[in-house]
Structure 1
Amino acid sequence: MTTTGVNGTASSESSLLQQAAQSILSGLTNSTLDVSSLVSSLVTAKTAGQQQTITNAISSDNTMLSALGSMQSALSSVLSALSGQTSTAGQAGSLVDGTIFQSLSATMSGSGITASTTTGAAAGTYSINVTQIATANQISSKAYASGATLGTGTLTIGVGSGSMSITLDSTNNTLQGVANAINNSSTNPGVTAAVVTGTDGQHLVLTSTQTGAANTVTVSGGAGVDSGMATANFTQVTAAQDAKLTVSGTSIDSASNTITNALTGVNLALTSASVGTTQTLSIAQNTTAISNQIQSFVTAYNQWISTETSLSSFNASAAQGSQAGPLLGDAMLNSAVNGIASIMSSGITVGGTTYDLAQIGINLNHDGTLSLDTSKLNSTLATSPSTVSAIFNGTNGFGEQLNAFISSYTDSATGQITQRESSLNADLAAQSQAQTSLTAWEQTLTAQYQAQFTQLNTLMAQTTNETSYLNRLFGGGGLSGSLNSK
């Protein structure tokens, strides 16, 4: 570490004073002083020590804040991994309170049905038979010549129990005009319109935006509207129908292909590929979610080890001043490292049985990092899931202990890191104030010295003029003297 302490500062000030003295001597020789350079040298000599102290303090505070930020980030990532905040969608639960082991996953034995679990799902197997899926009603008008008009009056479009009215006039009484009016209406009850041109002419095609038998599309035209604009004169392209299925023998009808209330805590999504099939739905512990979250924890923990090692390292071959990590020997970091290591190397006792991380494939390496034997973890989840849940139980499990200990450092209100950062920020504020005061003093000194040496310069110029006059009068300085010539 480079040290520019008192001796270095004193040497710098001495050099600046020597420069100032030389400027004065030069001024005496040349009859005038370089006031600007002289003042700058003297002011810098007066303030250099204080400026260096402020600069060093600010640099040290900022370095420490950066190091603490890295420590906070690494520890927070461990907590996030334990709590499940880094998990992907559908992998709900935490290794802190053990709720991850209550997470269930749903799998289907065939295709065409997607199943997912929500709150309230229960483990078990269920038989699902789908006879039809829900479809949206679609109807098509008779053929019209391109640009044919449909008369004037009121056209009513209905879907289920809702309806809308369109006034036809010369601006919109074509198939395309009607389609545009339907699609742009603020009172549209749930229908889309399109004009399809075929070999026989143009057709107005209306489609319900919702599936289900109740959501049929109807069309009726008032007086003056072409008679083709009536439901009876439209051809049904797709019938409106509900999905029909059985879950373990219980019949279910659904207007939607997304079924959320047939089986508590389970959502089913049907596609046409499921029609006519009987499949098995299995609800079981979500071992994939558990395995993924443990892997996330191991990854975050190893990043913490890498971070704390870097912050506390010493590299003798590095350039002087950058050999030591910013938190080398720091009591707070050492306390965190030792506390976490102690938790990780201890066993967890549940019901008189002691468990350790190695039993589920989490191995502690010599360098402090963790390695995960995924095969062993998955095998334990399959054969002895209670072992995994015991190790991460919500009372005294590894996750709960780590969460409580690490939070004492990372808590945004009371954490040790926050307190250290507050102290450093307070010192930075104090250094900023000290810099402001020093700058004001520099300005005062500059003005003072400027006035003094400007006055000295004037006096020296007067002395030089008088000396020149006397030399010319009496002789001297290589002159014969006007009085001596008489």
Structure 2
Amino acid sequence: MSSISTTSTAASTAAANAALQSAAQSIISGSTGNSSMDVSTLVTALVNAKTAGQTAALSARQTSDNTTLSAYGALSSALSALQSGITNLANGTTLSTFSATASGTGLTATAGAGAVAGSYSVAVTQIASSQALSSAAFGATTQLGTGTLTVSLGGKSMNINVDSTNNTLSGIASAINASSSNPGVTATIVTGTDGAHLVLRGANTGAANVINVSTSNVTSDTGLSSLGVTSTASTTGGQSSITSANSSSAWTQSGFAQDAEFKVGGIAASSSTNSVTTAISGVTMNLTAASAGTTQTLTIATDTTSQSTAINNFVSLYNTVVTTMSTLTSFSSGSSSQGPLLGDSTLQTIKNTLASIVGGSVGSGSTGTTLASIGITLKDNPADGTMVVDNTALSTALTANPATVASLFNSTNGIAEQLNSSITTFTQTGGIIDTRNTALNADLKSITTQQTALADYTAQLTSQYQAQFTALNTLMATMNNNSQYLTALFGGTNSAGALATNKG
């Protein structure tokens, strides 16, 4: 039990004894006729005298258990933050990161798993785009007839039923947009000086994503059948073309369905989208209109900046764990306060394990590599177990000795993976922290049961004492009255009673 808990128990016991002395004086006063007993105070004092020590001990134990649980919670949080922060160092992802830089505009890229450092010439002929079609002009409220419009995009289609409720351009546009089977065609109305135009736009880029419209079962035709249009995808890397159903009411293309066309290192390639993932292994190129007609150099290089940031973050998170453990085990000879886990074997096991990992080497014999070899060492002053990073040495290691860094943080037995594995062992269900918490929670449950039993005993004892001392108080009051009556009759010290007076 902590010194604070011991002090609390002693204080409770002392207070109970003081109350008991006061109650004893109440009995003496009542028995000598000076006053009646204070039964309520007397009962409370006696009950407290019997239960105060046990009550205080249970409360102190409860406080200690809850404080220890909170301490383990703080430790677990610091360990989990460290584990989360080193995930990509542990699995090797961080040391496989690359930067991608283009020499011109309109071309950006990201490099991921599978990328290889190098420079690539990228010549962009055209970017991918989606098709947009504009119909001939009609009156805004002209009823075009009834029938069925079949609208398709890239091989998927929807049927639009056109009747007297929606057979204007705006009605048809609304029906297209509201269709649950819409393959990705957006319809709008654009009004010019010549009238209203139905404009259809495809959601997806690429030469294959052309828009086709056909009509069927048309009646009362005043323009509905002229909304038919056939689009043809280019097979040579060019733009889509269209054929209108009615040459006098021809559709026009305001946007073409086409693939992105480019060369990488002189090798021709294409993509239906402007996010190109298949041209260079592990690299995603993003094209915009500004890249069309340009030839640029795309450089893929090891991303030492991200790697340095990740390693510095690892050191910072590790130091947080060490600092947390130091706080939880703190002790000051000039103060009665101490850390809640001072001398705790579970914390000491965790601390020793982590220190052994970061202070050890990866590999064996003369081939073993330590964190010190890349500029990470234990802080000398004060020697508190935290680490410090020499960023100049780290930068040199990342650029000149990447194999050393890769060895230290390999995904099999690297520093980060060892820490990750150990933390999992510590924090998992059934691990040493969980086992300790389970024992503490079981003790808290036992304390609650004991407190309930003690409360029942206290109530029973209070009732018993209340009855006994109420009866005693009544008896002493009666005796005092009788004594006063006899004194009045027979006299007492320095007084003569009524009978003595009559006798005279």
Which residue in the other structure is 1:110 paired with? 104
Going from structure 1 to structure 2, the CA distance change for 1:395 and 1:143 (only over 3 Å counts) comes to closer
Q: Quote the Cα distance in structure 2 between the aligned partners of 1:274 and 1:203.
A: 32
**Range that drifts further, 364-373 or 457-466:** 457-466
**Cα gap change, 1:187/1:349 in structure 2, threshold over 3 Å: closer, same or farther?**
closer
Match of 1:21 in 2: 24
- On the 8 A contact 1:363/1:372 being kept in 2, the answer is yes
**Which residue does the alignment assign to 1:163?**
157
Q: Which residue of 1 aligns with 2:435?
A: 419
Q: How has the CA–CA distance of structure 1 residues 406 and 230 changed in structure 2, closer, same or farther, with 3 Å as cutoff?
A: closer
Q: Secondary structure at the match of 2:181?
A: coil
- Bigger mean CA offset, 183-192 vs 410-419: 410-419
**In the alignment, does 2:78 pair up with 1:82?**
no
Q: Is the 8 A contact 1:153 1:224 kept in 2?
A: no
Report the AA paired with residue 443 of structure 1: A
The Cα shift of 1:299 comes to 1.0
What's the counterpart of residue 406 of structure 2? 389
Q: Which residue of 1 aligns with 2:284?
A: 267
**Residue of structure 2 in register with 1:224 after alignment:** 220
Q: CA contact under 8 A between 1:68 and 1:417: conserved in structure 2?
A: yes
Structure 2 unaligned residues grouped into runs of 5+: 230-243, 245-249
Is 1:304 the counterpart of 2:321? The answer is yes
Cα displacement string for residues 416-473 of structure 1 (whole angstroms, at most 9, x for unaligned residues): 2222222222221221111111111111111211222233344345445655666777
Asked if 1:371 is matched to 2:384, the reply is no
Question: Corresponding residue for 2:129?
Answer: 135
Give the 3-state SS of the residue equivalent to 1:196 in structure 2: strand
Gaps of 5+ in 1: 85-93
Q: Within 2, Cα distance between the matches of 1:160 and 1:76?
A: 49
Aligned residues of 2:119 and 2:300 also touching (Cα < 8 A): yes
Q: Matches of 1:141 and 1:395 in 2, distance apart?
A: 63
Q: Where do 1:90-239 residues align within 5 Å?
A: 94=89, 96=90, 98=92, 100-221=94-215, 222-227=218-223, 228-231=226-229, 232=244, 233-239=250-256
CA distance in 2, matches of 1:398, 1:242: 47
Q: In 2, distance between residues paired with 1:456 and 1:188?
A: 95
Q: Distance in 2 between matches of 1:351 and 1:208?
A: 64
Change (3 A) 1:211 1:225: farther
Q: Could you tell me which residue of structure 2 aligns to residue 291 of structure 1? A: 308
Distance in 1 separating the partners of 2:73 and 2:259: 57
CA deviation map 1:154-185 (0-9, x unaligned): 33322232222222333322322222211111
Structure 1: distance between partners of 2:200 and 2:142: 18
Deviates more, 1:153-162 or 1:468-477: 468-477
User: Deviation of residue 261 (structure 1)?
Assistant: 2.9
SS in 2 for 1:352: helix
Asked whether the 8 Å contact 1:31–1:460 carries over to 2, the reply is: no
Letter in 1 for 2:227: M
Report the TM-score when normalising by structure 1: 0.85
Inter-CA distance 223–258: structure 2 relative to 1 (3 Å threshold): farther
> Which residue is equivalent to 2:366?
352
Aligned to 1:90: none
* Structure 1 SS opposite 2:18: helix
24-33 or 220-229: bigger deviation: 24-33
Change beyond 3 A, Cα 1:101–1:464: same
Distance change (3 Å), C-alpha of 1:223 and 1:33: same
Q: 8 Å contact 2:96–2:112 — kept in the other structure?
A: no
CA contact (8 A) 2:143 2:167 kept: yes
CA contact (8 A) 1:155 1:225 kept: no
Return the offset for 1:223: 2.7
Is the CA contact (8 Å cut-off) linking 1:474 and 1:484 kept in structure 2? no
Aligned residue type for 2:442: A
Q: CA 1:464–1:383 in structure 2 vs 1: closer, same or farther (change >3 Å)?
A: same
Structural RMSD (CA): 3.2
Which SS does the other structure have where 2:220 is aligned?
A: coil
Query: Residues 176 and 482 from structure 1, CA distance in 2 versus in 1: closer, same or farther, beyond 3 angstroms?
Result: farther
The answer to whether residue 302 in structure 2 is matched with residue 277 in structure 1 is no
Q: How does 1:238-253 map to 2 (within 5 A)?
A: 238-253=255-270
**Is the CA contact 2:173–2:198 (under 8 Å) kept in the aligned structure 1?**
yes
**292-301 or 141-150, larger mean C-alpha shift:** 141-150
Alignment partner, residue 238 of structure 2: none
Rounded to whole Å, the distance in 2 between the matches of 1:340 and 1:202 is: 74
Report deviation, 1:196.
Answer: 2.1
1:451 equivalent to 2:449? Answer: no
Q: 2: CA distance between counterparts of 1:6 and 1:69?
A: 27
How has the CA–CA distance of structure 1 residues 240 and 351 changed in structure 2, closer, same or farther, with 3 Å as cutoff?
Answer: farther
Aligned mates of 1:71, 1:226 — CA distance in 2: 78
1:71 aligns with 2:75: yes
Do the aligned partners of residues 381 and 475 (structure 1) sit closer, same or farther apart at CA in structure 2, a change above 3 Å counting? same
> 2:129·2:255 contact (CA, 8 Å) conserved in 1?
yes
Aligned-partner SS, 1:262: coil
Choose which of 339, 343, 352 in structure 2 pairs with 1:325.
Answer: 339
1:340 aligns with 2:334: no
Q: Deviations over 1:45-94 (max 9, x none)?
A: 2110001100111111111222222222223333333322xxxxxxxxx3
Residue 27 of structure 1, CA deviation? 4.2
Aligned length: 472
Post-superposition shift, 1:99? 5.2
How far, CA to CA, are the matches of 1:151 and 1:26 in structure 2? 113
